[in-house]
Amino acid sequence: MTYLFLFCLPFLGISQADTLKLKDKTLLIGEVKLLKQGVITIETDYSDSDFKVEFDKVDYIHLKKKTLVILTEGRRRFGNLTTNKKGLGQVITEDGKIHTFTLSEMVALNEIDDEFWERFMGSIDLGYNISKANNLHQFTASGALHYIDKMWLMDGSISILNSIQDDADKTKRTDAKLDIYRIIIDGKWYLLANTSFLSNTEQALDARISPSLGAGKFIKNNNKLYWGLTLGFSYNIENYVDSSLDKTSSEAFIGSVLNLFNFEDISLTAEARLLPSLSQKGRIRSDVDTTVKYDLPSDFYIKAGFSINYDNQPAIEGNDTDYVLTTGVGWKFD
């Protein structure tokens, strides 16, 4: 990426703003938004749009806010980020310790705002399908909300599908999740609290609420992907269309989360859980969710998602599997 403009602002403003100096001597001054997918984004006062710079072209970085820096092998550092005279990145922590590393070791960074509500970011997308055959009308909507702090992460999501067509029952599905992570042991291990909600007409399920607790480890965490494994316990509260089938149960679970992000404008997330029952003999459930996004200009994106839920002891015989494939156009915000 070649920049044709050299921005030379008065240097008295440098101490009051984030600063990037590129290897071609270009100087960018403004507010760094994030480092993700090998690209660092900076907002400046002298441009209508944000600059996106390939991070391997950065020679010097200095950020004014305290910053959460994610390094290779899952290492996490929190403090004031700058570059020393040797060209190494360094984070000065709140207790005065200095941690140094090469800039190429940085996987991601997020400036942590002092205001709680400014630490959230999210996205929303919509889709609509219509077909003359069977007079099909299908509406999908989904949203996501993320929070990041020094040692806490939060991911929330919701997905809604409503489908109507002639000579067929109305199809409805709502899937929502909330994951809260507490990072421990230098960012390689974490504790997890999760609550999920599922309602779908295919399995005659009015609502399944499943709070769970677990612990996990990042198996791989670098500038191309992260992959984590989690073990834990879950409790189900299940209400069906036929209330005589309502029940509660407990389960163990093993889960895996994969996030691929350093592939140009494409990102992929996948999560799978296997849930053997502890209170119902022989019952096994599984949940799989996969989402692919392609980034468009101005924080818009197109998305395709696939979810499948399996229960070998369904409330209605023959309805052991429910799956949905959705597409849509969305917008990210922070």
The 10s digit of each residue's pLDDT in 106-134 is 888 877 766 677 667 788 988 887 876 67
Reported as type and span, the H/E element at residue 313 is none
- Most confident of the ranges 38-47, 82-91, 229-238: 229-238
The reported pLDDT for the residue numbered 180 is 92
Distance CA 94, CA 265 (A): 35
CA gap 33, 41 in Å, rounded: 5
Residue 324: per-residue pLDDT: 85
Q: Is 14's pLDDT higher than 60?
A: no
Residue 324 CA to residue 138 CA, distance in Å, equals 12
pLDDT, position 101: 93
User: What is the predicted pLDDT for the residue at 1?
Assistant: 40
The least confident of 12-16, 161-165, 183-187, 289-293 is 12-16
Res. 333: pLDDT tops 80? no
Dist CA 49 CA 241 (whole Å): 51
- What's the pTM? 0.71
Residue 115's pLDDT is 66
> Can you give the pLDDT at residue 332?
81
Residue 45, helix vs strand vs coil: coil
Share of the chain above pLDDT 70, in %: 87
pLDDT at 12: 38
What pLDDT, on a 0 to 100 scale, did the predictor assign at position 148?
75
Contact 42, 58 (CB under 8 A): no
Which amino acid, 223?
N
pLDDT digits over 264-276, tens only? Answer: 678 888 999 999 9
pLDDT of 182 over the 70 cut: yes
Q: Report CA dihedral (206, 320, 322, 193) to the nearest 10 degrees.
A: 70
